[in-house]
Structure 1
């Protein structure tokens, strides 16, 4: 008997390149944004650049907020090259989180406490009388190459663009000393602060020997900070905790919560970026404000630290509360797969992933993420395609009407027969390894099936996104993979395969897949072909319907 994936429906929505106003910046106050006429080549001269992710036209990038109706994105930027170094706080604003306008550098090295770099931090909106004043806490690398925490304030509150920023004379506000014994080389990335009973709290990433920890500080005026006796949380053998994030989520609603919200029906998310692993991990748990402790739920532990936001290239993420949409918005930094040599040659490296709305699922054990609705405004005038098909064993269906390098693809897979699902081996605990071992060329009974995107005409190059379904005792295990092993003919590129087990019951729920496709530097052709495929040893007819 042949096993087919039936009732396959997918929608392909077109989007076109947007101008971000050439979001490039130079380093010092007397040198503002680089004019677009001289800062970079046109998009026609750079076929590998993404069209709808935030990125400056040149060089290397790495605390968002909303203020007076404008979204502000501050990001780590190297104005001198496409590699890490010479870090400043670049600044752009947007009305919709998609189209961005560049501004002069907000914070740059100028004082002994930050002369060797202005590193990551966060913005907090602080009530001051009738005003709401944005406060930026950031890490400075001082003249002794020690990491200290500093504060910058907007010079003109009536300016919604917040062009100019001033550093307070009390800097540095938090610093390693002989008394606190804080590791001066691993003390960085203050979070957005939250307030409990009139007193502010903030956590800062740290490493003590091999233990990662979130050092907690308290302040009544946002100037004088006192270190707590214990960290908010720590974990052994996790190394440095970079770019921590801490925020509440509702257990009963998708509505986002202000960072300072504390009440019934909430849990908290503690997220850290692990430099040793290159991924962002998080805990779901309970915050106890009385003694400022965080207790992770036992179910949230997924590996050495916790669950992961993303199983691909995604790092140094940061959320903010959107008070207009009442949503929690997540940003993350994505590095290309190209080599440092190629980055320098092409003159840029790094993008910001499309912002995502995040909320807690109904079980309270996982975070749901979905691209912000504004991305749909990028859909072009070309009509959407809706195609229903029976995808039989060994079949591959090319979608010939797509000739753009960018698309919003939504696919729904429905499986009609599970009886011959491959048995899941309990030793398969590493989904990334399993994806690399059982790639698109494998012959399983239920998979691999999915998409081949950015494919060349003869399939010398493509990126595969696919599912595999296994039988495990009384339930089914769903594996989702992103196979980049054939994404480029360039042998210097990183072609790591990524994967994760998906918490879904394929018997009662259809498998939904949405892919935002945009050309990357690892791809070197002007258009892509899109295929749906189902690799399986059994051969059967397939029926295709175009609606």
Structure 2
């Protein structure tokens, strides 16, 4: 979140080692998203409602109150999950170093008797409707159907579940880390989560536990029915659009009001063994690369076939060694000194009917030797 000139990054973190376990909410702050200062953990298991874990959630800036964290607490060894609230101990502290979990409020949401409490987690950033009710989503599943429950509140304390999920999709399994936010029909600015109207569409993103990828659709949010209907521009499931076709999971976006943009953070977990992670002392990475490629002309771009709908399949078909009209070009990452091994990140340019289409690919299996 961005609050009073400071970016706050919260993340799942094991302070006792480079493997999963002992999860707390790590907390780092920055004024430019580049230089970061690590603070003490914001949340760690300390109450009966989160005795066995403080899992993922979101932050919301509540007008007149300030930042509020909603997170999933694990109450027992059977992994029954509840939704909890935390607030800053001192809102005048510019870094919001300490957070408290009011006993009188927690947990704010529990699973109903007909719901599976072990698949009930990751509350979203809240948004405020025209009816002055706050709303959040919580990820879950029923049998093999993934779904996002919707809850409403007048005061950000007492929450009531809507009769129906905001959306669901069969055969997708557990929806982890759901994200729901508006995007403008015109322009490239990000929007506050509470923005609604005819000038926006909405994005619903889910992290599918069965595939460990991030899937999203763009569609219409009908607020008076609290229903989300995806457009027919992509599949609503495993074959649909993904934020990233590499190793990218459990992402969360936030609106940055200082620059009117929406920023997405995601988790990139390497393929190292547990033993290697312990040896090097860290696991999981963040990367930000900016590169510019220039061309004197785009005339040689190949024609784009509108039947191409799956970018991953097209990347496999074209490959990094198949010469095209304009591409492949790009970067060699994770390269050994003599290029015995490397991972190419490469691009191709195609010409559609009224625009150019860019295909971005990576190939983690590419070896230069013997090819």
Say yes or no: does 1:141 pair with 2:74.
yes
Quote the residue 2:126 is aligned against.
193
State the alpha-carbon separation in 2 of the partners of residues 472 and 286 from structure 1: 26
State the alpha-carbon separation in 2 of the partners of residues 268 and 477 from structure 1: 23
How is 1:124-203 mapped onto 2 (pairs within 5 angstroms)? 124-128=60-64, 132-144=65-77, 145-169=79-103, 170-178=105-113, 181-196=114-129, 197-203=131-137
Q: What secondary structure is seen at the aligned counterpart in 1 of 2:201?
A: strand
1:452 to 1:97, Cα distance in 2 relative to 1, 3 A: closer
Shift of 1:160: 1.6
**Residues 235 and 305 of structure 1 are in contact (CA less than 8 Å); yes or no, is this contact kept in structure 2?**
no
Quote the residue 1:432 is aligned against.
312
How is 1:84-483 mapped onto 2 (pairs within 5 angstroms)? 84-128=20-64, 132-144=65-77, 145-169=79-103, 170-178=105-113, 181-196=114-129, 197-301=131-235, 304=238, 306-354=240-288, 408-413=290-295, 414-417=297-300, 431-436=311-316, 438-442=318-322, 444=323, 446=325, 449-454=328-333, 455-456=335-336, 458-468=338-348, 479-483=359-363
State the alpha-carbon separation in 2 of the partners of residues 107 and 339 from structure 1: 28
How is 1:19-30 mapped onto 2 (pairs within 5 angstroms)? none
Q: What secondary structure is seen at the aligned counterpart in 1 of 2:41?
A: strand
For residue 6 of structure 2, the aligned residue among 70, 87, 92 is 70
How is 1:482-493 mapped onto 2 (pairs within 5 angstroms)? 482-486=362-366
Shift of 1:466: 2.6
1:77 to 1:469, Cα distance in 2 relative to 1, 3 A: same
Q: What secondary structure is seen at the aligned counterpart in 2 of 1:344?
A: helix
Of 187-196 and 444-453, deviating more is 444-453
Shift of 1:484: 2.1
State the alpha-carbon separation in 2 of the partners of residues 207 and 67 from structure 1: 33
1:320 to 1:422, Cα distance in 2 relative to 1, 3 A: closer
State the alpha-carbon separation in 2 of the partners of residues 473 and 259 from structure 1: 34
**Residues 169 and 237 of structure 2 are in contact (CA less than 8 Å); yes or no, is this contact kept in structure 1?**
no
State the alpha-carbon separation in 1 of the partners of residues 358 and 63 from structure 2: 47
**Residues 300 and 326 of structure 2 are in contact (CA less than 8 Å); yes or no, is this contact kept in structure 1?**
no
Residue correspondences, number: 365
Shift of 1:162: 0.7
State the alpha-carbon separation in 1 of the partners of residues 315 and 184 from structure 2: 33
Q: CA RMSD in A?
A: 2.9
How is 1:28-43 mapped onto 2 (pairs within 5 angstroms)? none
Higher relative contact order (CA 8 A, sep 6+): 1
1:294 to 1:351, Cα distance in 2 relative to 1, 3 A: same
**Residues 60 and 67 of structure 2 are in contact (CA less than 8 Å); yes or no, is this contact kept in structure 1?**
yes
State the alpha-carbon separation in 2 of the partners of residues 430 and 339 from structure 1: 31
Shift of 1:435: 3.3
State the alpha-carbon separation in 2 of the partners of residues 206 and 292 from structure 1: 17
Per-residue deviation, residues 364-393 of structure 1 (Å, max 9, x unmatched): xxxxxxxxxxxxxxxxxxxxxxxxxxxxxx
Q: Specify every segment of 5 or more residues in structure 2 that has no aligned partner in the other structure, as ranges.
A: none
Q: What secondary structure is seen at the aligned counterpart in 1 of 2:278?
A: helix
Q: What secondary structure is seen at the aligned counterpart in 1 of 2:48?
A: coil
State the alpha-carbon separation in 2 of the partners of residues 74 and 117 from structure 1: 15
Shift of 1:251: 1.0
Find the structure with the greater CA-based Rg.
Answer: 1
1:176 to 1:322, Cα distance in 2 relative to 1, 3 A: same
Per-residue deviation, residues 441-471 of structure 1 (Å, max 9, x unmatched): 44x4547521342444543122222345689
